[in-house]
Amino acid sequence: MLGWSSRRPATPAHRSRGPRLRLIPEALSTAASPAPPAGTSAVPVQKDLRWNCDAATADRICNFNRHYAEHAGYWEQETSFLTDESEKSGEIAFYDSNTGNELFTAPKGRPFEQFVAESKVHGWPSFRDSEVNWDYVRVLPDGETVSVDGTHLGHNLPDKNGNRYCINLVSVAGRPAKA
């Protein structure tokens, strides 16, 4: 796993909103690199995301922020996730929109309808511990949930049932990595 370091954004647009820290993989911030990466991931967002997710929105959410999210309900109102019949049966694999690594598999231990109902209540797809692929997902001390490759995914917002990972669909709408 890569270590993490803080680095201030380099663009004037970021400076105009006041000083903000951005986390980038430590290995990518070494002096050996000619310039810091544009975002938190070493690779860009895939161009052909699943469920008609917008690549520009995904790039902004996945790679250029540590706190913000797609707007509540984006996943159900502006994508084909709920209308894609092939997604309504069995478990669905959710892949990193940058790398294509499998990050979540849901629903596990609950019906699809329960997964959707819980997600609708909160405004974003909501995953539980058993649905997380811990080989590729990390939760930072402040609750931010990221991929090991630096993709911002969302946040852990525990409730009475335990950990609940409130994840941006644009962050997990990637296609599988090619082996």
pLDDT for res 43:
87
Question: Does 53 score more than 50 pLDDT?
Answer: yes
Residue 11 lies in a domain: no
| Interval 2-20 mean pLDDT | 35
pLDDT at 88 exceeding the cut of 80: no
Question: How many domains would you assign to the chain?
Answer: 1
Residue 162 maps to a domain: yes
CA dist., res. 10 & res. 38, Å (int): 9
Residue 98 placed within a domain = yes
Compare 28 and 100 and report the one with higher pLDDT: 100
More confident residue, 138 or 87: 138
pTM strictly above 0.85 = no
Kindly indicate the confidence band of residue 83, based on its pLDDT and cuts at 50, 70 and 90: confident
pLDDT tens-digit map of 107-165: 999 999 999 999 998 889 999 999 999 999 999 999 999 999 999 999 999 999 999 99
pLDDT of residue 9: 31
43: in domain:
no
Q: Which letter, b or e, does each residue of 156-178 get, where b requires 16 or more Cβ atoms within 10 Å of its Cβ?
A: beeeeeebbbbbbbbbbbbeeee
Cα separations (Å) of 75 from 11, 32, 46, 69, 135? 30, 39, 18, 11, 25
pLDDT of residue 5: 38
In a domain, 32, yes or no: no
* Cα Rg, the chain, nearest whole Å: 16
Q: Is residue 71 one of the residues assigned to a domain?
A: yes
Is residue 35 assigned to a domain?
Answer: no
* Residue 13: inside a domain: no
List the beta bridge partners of residue 174.
Answer: 95
- The pLDDT of residue 68 is above 80: no
Place of tokens 């069995």: 90
DSSP 123: T
- Range of 159's domain? 50-171
CA dist 76 and 74 (Å) reads 6
Instruction: Name, in order, each residue with C-beta under 8 angstroms of 94's C-beta and a sequence gap of 6 or more.
Output: 102, 103, 104, 105, 106, 125, 167, 172, 173
